[in-house]
Structure 1
Amino acid sequence: MIIEDKEIGFDIEVLKPQVHENMAAIPLKSKISYRLDLLTLKKGLELGLVEVKECEQSTVNTIKVTNNAVTPLILIDGEEILGANQNRIVNSTLLIAPKTTQAISVSCTGHGRWEYKNEFKQSEYIADFNTRRVKEFAKRSHQNSQQAIWDSIKSLEVENSFKSPTSAMSESYDNLKISHNEFLKAFEIVDGQCGVLVIQNGEIKGFEIFYNPQIYKEYHEKVLRSYLMNNKVENTLFTIDMDGIKSLMNNANILAFNKKDSEGMEYKFEFEDDFSLGNLYSYEDEIIHFSYFTKPDESITDDTNEQMPVGYVL
């Protein structure tokens, strides 16, 4: 993969599909080794090396993160943090430098609360698949991404006949947690796995690739739950076109990436075509996170569907 005249490692092996009812999870494994030492939010909080607080003058869309470690802290797009005045999600994957305090961009995932609850802690969840992609689509379409997130969380509640007193995304997850556990049993992490591609009702929805297997392991269940939150069982009989999937992954190497402003040490690149959009983040010529989403249905026209390439619909 060539970005800004630099070759960045992207050599992904597509492993044997795991299937349960209408959903398939395709484990992805990198063929390259990694040399960076990165600290995750979970590990940083457990070790007491990371603090997350409201800013001195609290605002909905900004919080303050302190990294007291000697290695960069990685925060993942859609990662949820609970507590303080409101629950939030991280708006973009970023690296916070060692021994640094930084204000970061976030979005609210609990519309009905603005009062201090307790200190921030990491959530069991990341934003659901649809919320992440409508957030991204709204931002690129110059729409209000915070409103798009609230609307998406409200849709989750309507679709599942559930109402949180504070419209909290995490409570929608809690409501469906037990019913999703059977799926998770079928989607076991495999040795060396660093990502996953998800198919629902015969259609590819997206994929996530992380810097290394150790980081992916922390997010494996969260990523799968994020897709399950929007899962509707419609078609349990479908064919998995492995050649199409491999073609899709190969095509990811030649996507047209545009560099964007970054919040931290990372380099951020966006891509978008008629069918998909997403982000790639790199640091020291290594891919640290790559997320790929099919576009929301309302953004794909009939003409676009007719031209959809192999690998999108299986």
Structure 2
Amino acid sequence: MIIRVATRGSALSIRQAEIVMRRILEFNPDVEFKLVIVRTTGDVVLDKPLYEIGVKGIFEKEVNLALLRGEADVAVHSLKDMPAQISSELTLAMTPPRDDPRDAVVSVRGYTIDSLPSNSVVGTSSLRRRGFLLSIRRDVVVKPIRGNVDTRVRKLMGGGYDALIMAAAGLERLNVNISVNKIDPLLMPPAPGQGVIGVVVRRDREDLLKVLRRSNDEDTFREAIAERAFLSRIGAGCHVPLGGLATVNGDSMDFVYGVVDPDGTSKFTGMVRGSLSDPEGVGRRAAEELLSNAHELVSRLMKNP
């Protein structure tokens, strides 16, 4: 069987596709692969933060079109880029083992959140990272930054920033040689799906579904299902700065969640624990707690992105 794998063309996206292909080969040694590179709007428009471009699922949508058009068999995504709702013809079929889901302070001088000097310029275009950072360190300056991992690190090395806030997983997948200090999820709840690579396929491809299910990491998949249920219940897009992280803990699942105003003045965080047998229920319960306890903040953020 030859599987055509659709992905974006960035170094990180291709690396993630390689991780998926290696995982599939472990359980299906007779499979062969062909990469299908898709150039998306999010890759072309680099002069605006993602929340200003206004296209929900900006990276996911155009890659998945390759499946719907019959140009590819599976699509590989950073799961945090996938909206809670995708085409009814498609399904999330597989996740390889999760990489570190935490955000991290990236710098030349080895800064942590606590050791950043006052008035440091910190780069991120994520409203979530911006808000939680400012809620902890109101004395730093947050400056937008776009581009792939390599581009952002080059801008940091060029002296335009004192530090960046980035996903630890992407830096580790690319073996970036720079100081990375990870942030406690209770201080900065990660984006739902962060650290997870998602593999999407058409629902009617039973042959492929069998191959992918053999390759699936069950704990990671449960965490992904919980976090996507959380996102679905909240009903928020990428413009709402909220985080949600599910972690398998024996027979239980812990779920850390949070929402923050982009200026860091208001935030709410919490944690729930539920049964591993009902990951969707755990995610929904976390969402219900968030909506109940931070209803006014969430409503305001959803009305005024």
TM-score (norm 2): 0.26
Higher strand share: 1
Higher helix share: 2
Greater RCO (CA < 8 Å, at least 6 residues apart): 2
TM-score (norm 1): 0.26
